[in-house]
Amino acid sequence: MISLRSSAVLLRMRRVRTPYEDDISDEVLLAGMAIGDDRAALAFMRRYQHRLFGLAMGIVGDLALAEDVAQEAFIRIFRHASVFDARRGSVATWTLTITRNLAIDALRLRGDTPTDPDDQVFLGLLSANRKPEDAAVAEDSLDRIRVALRSLPIQQRRAVLLAAMYGRTAQEIAVAEDIPLGTAKSRIRLGMDKLRESVVIEEDQ
Amino acid sequence: MSSDSEIPQQCEHLQDELSELALGTLYGRSRAEVLAHVESCSRCAATLERLSVVADSLLQLAPEIEPPLGFELRLAERLHASAIAHRPGRFRRIGTLSAAAVIMVVLGFGLGTWATPSDVNRPAQSVTSHLTSAHLTAHGRVLGEVMVSAGTPAWMLMTISESPWSGRVLCEVTLAGGKVESIGAFTLSGGYGAWGAPLTAPASEVRSARLVAPNGTVLATAQLSV
């Protein structure tokens, strides 16, 4: 848990560049936060606020609610920094998963229908910098998966994104899409299998 | 125990659920069934690992967006309120040990010594019982924390947050019997720094640690009793 002395401390540090900001790994920043280091918390917030807010906005599609989600995510992250376990995954995955889960909870609390994953913000996610035929020149794993995602049949892509981004179970997807449960499960599996192949290709190269 | 001819059939039967497990949308009995199978099937474990990489990557594809003006200020206010509401009485002691656990895990991860891909889905193991921590002090003032992990190799890690010095510093440890070993150097900037290095000696041999300026001046010390 982080112990912030006062909001004034953070405000004073807004213009302070710390050695944490550029050269320290996410994991060390978390460690600093866990022992109550305000500057580590500030650096972490600056490093991740665009990503967390972007993900929250993508899921809830509402500016005010997205800010609320992103801020609550930071509070959870700061509070639980000491229990982060790197063996279970990266800091980025951990923080984004927290944000995603909070966004899903926020939507459910509000009784909203989740944003269509092929619309609005996620259109940007899919309008990758590269076209599918350029997959061979993709530079990193995220590029590869983005290209693979864009190449999926739309029904499979919707099923995968509804599960990955909105936490929808196969049963919920079946209801939402008005399709049999078996079809929903197959779409998820086929989509994930094709995305997995992009990971395999990268690792084998 | 299933026969060899039954294994592929069972694997095939669970392929849909493997994807859903990786995506975090499989619950109840189905989840337990798949987890039990993966535990004993290296083929499906490997598939699940790659599917998990995909699921994690999907979250990272979300575009970065500039938060609204005042986001930092409002977050600072919420953090302050949250810190007051959740401040435990024994925070310092517990927090320090927890932090040490995190640093042990994260530096191991950062240097590629612990978190190989096959480790990703392994259950978490307690590391706190192998840790010793102490304040790093100078003239009675606490400058930071030093932690020693009793693994193989042992590790020493430190975070300094209140140093009056900046620039290059050396880290030395004193072992049982009085032998002094230099374990590395790092840079303090603006009084802050975080650093770690493996020890050549077992953790049980380490009695103290100290930061030394390039001119030999001892800047701070920490007494460790592993």
Give pLDDT tens digits for A96-142.
Answer: 999 999 999 998 888 766 556 655 545 565 554 434 443 333 457 77
Give the H or E element holding residue B105.
helix B91-110
CB atoms within 10 A of CB A140: 10
On whether both A88 and A154 belong to a single domain, the answer is no
In this structure, are residues A169 and A181 in contact, taking their beta carbons and an 8 Å threshold? no
The CB density around residue B153, as the number of other CB atoms within 10 Å, is: 14
Same domain, residue pair A104 and A163:
no
Contact check, Cβ <8 Å, B121/A19: no
How many domains would you assign to chain A?
A: 2
Query: Rounded distance, CA A65 to CA A56, Å?
Result: 8
Mean pLDDT of B22-32: 92
Q: Tell me, what CATH number does A76's domain have?
A: 1.10.1740.10
To the nearest whole number, what is the mean pLDDT of chain B?
A: 73
Question: Are A149 and A106 members of one domain?
Answer: no
Distances A156 to A59, A117, A169, A184, A193 between C-alpha atoms, Å: 18, 12, 14, 9, 10
Using 50, 70 and 90 to split pLDDT, how confident is the model at B13?
confident
Which of A160-174, B140-154, B160-174, B181-195 has the least mean pLDDT?
A: B140-154
Q: What is the pLDDT along chain A (205 residues), one digit of tens a residue?
A: 333 333 334 433 343 444 444 557 788 788 877 777 777 788 889 899 999 999 998 888 889 999 999 999 999 998 888 888 777 778 899 999 999 999 999 988 887 665 566 555 455 655 544 344 433 334 577 788 888 888 899 899 999 999 998 889 999 999 988 999 999 999 999 999 999 988 754 444 4
Q: Give the DSSP letter string of B190-218.
A: TTBEEEEEE-SS-GGGEEEEEEE-TTS-E
Question: What's the confidence (pLDDT) of residue A183?
Answer: 97
Nearest by CB to B74, which of A35, A51, A71? Answer: A71
For residue A23, the model assigns a pLDDT of 59
* Residue A97 and residue A158 in one domain: no
pLDDT at position A120: 52
Residue recorded with tokens 């002395």: A5
Residues A91 and A35 in one domain: yes
Task: Please report whether residue A16 resides in a domain.
Answer: yes
CA angle at B204 for the pair B198 and B208, rounded to the nearest 5°: 75
Task: Give the sign of the dihedral formed by CA A155, CA B62, CA B46, CA A87.
Answer: negative
Pair A179, A157 in one domain: yes
Q: A100 and A20, same structural domain?
A: yes
Tokens representing residue A65 in the block:
């609610």
Domain membership of residue A13 as a residue range: 7-110
Residue A2 lies in a domain: no
Q: Give B65's Cβ-side CA count (13 Å radius).
A: 24
CA distance A141 to A138: 8
Asked if residue A94 and residue A140 are part of one domain, the reply reads: no
Average pLDDT value for residue range B154-183: 85
CATH number of the domain residue A142 falls in: 1.10.10.10
Structure tokens at A205: 């190269």
ipTM for this prediction: 0.79
A1 belongs to a structural domain: no
Are residue A47 and residue A69 in the same domain, yes or no?
Answer: yes
| pTM recorded for the entire structure | 0.60
| Residues 17-76, chain A, touching B (beta carbon < 8 A) | 18-20, 24-25, 27-28, 30-32, 34-37, 39, 41, 45-46, 49-51, 53-55, 57-58, 63, 67, 70-71, 74-75
Average the pLDDT over B123-127 and give the result.
Answer: 29
Q: Chain A within 8 Å of B176 (Cβ-Cβ)?
A: no
* Chain B, nearest residue to A161 by Cα: B58
Return d(Cα A18, Cα B166) in angstroms, integer.
Answer: 12
Q: How many CB pairs under 8 A join A and B?
A: 249
Distance CA B144, CA B154 (A): 20
Is-contact B118 A87, C-beta < 8 A? no
Among A122, A103, A115, residue whose Cα is nearest residue A176? A115
Average pLDDT, chain A: 77
Are B60 and A26 in contact, with CB atoms under 8 Å apart?
A: no
Task: Give the start-to-end residue ranges of the domains of chain B.
Answer: 6-60, 128-223
- Does residue A115 form part of some domain? no
Instruction: Tell me: do A88 and A178 sit in the same domain.
Output: no
Last residue of a domain, one of A56, A81, A110: A110
pLDDT in tens, B61-102: 888 889 998 898 888 778 777 665 555 443 333 333 333 333
Residue A175 sits at the chain B interface (C-beta within 8 Å): no
Q: How confident is the model at residue B112 (pLDDT cuts 50, 70, 90)?
A: very low
pLDDT per position as a tens digit, B31-69: 999 999 999 999 999 999 999 989 988 888 888 889 998
**Neighbour tally for A187: CB within 10 Å:** 27
Residue B118 contacts A, CB cutoff 8 Å: no
CATH 2.60.40 fits B128-223, yes or no: yes
Task: Please give the structure tokens belonging to residue A61.
Answer: 């599609």
The residue-averaged pLDDT of B195-203 equals 80
Q: Is B151 on the interface with A (CB under 8 A)?
A: no
Residues A91 and A71 in one domain: yes
**Both A135 and A198 in a single domain?**
yes
CA angle A76, A51, A95 (to 5 degrees): 30
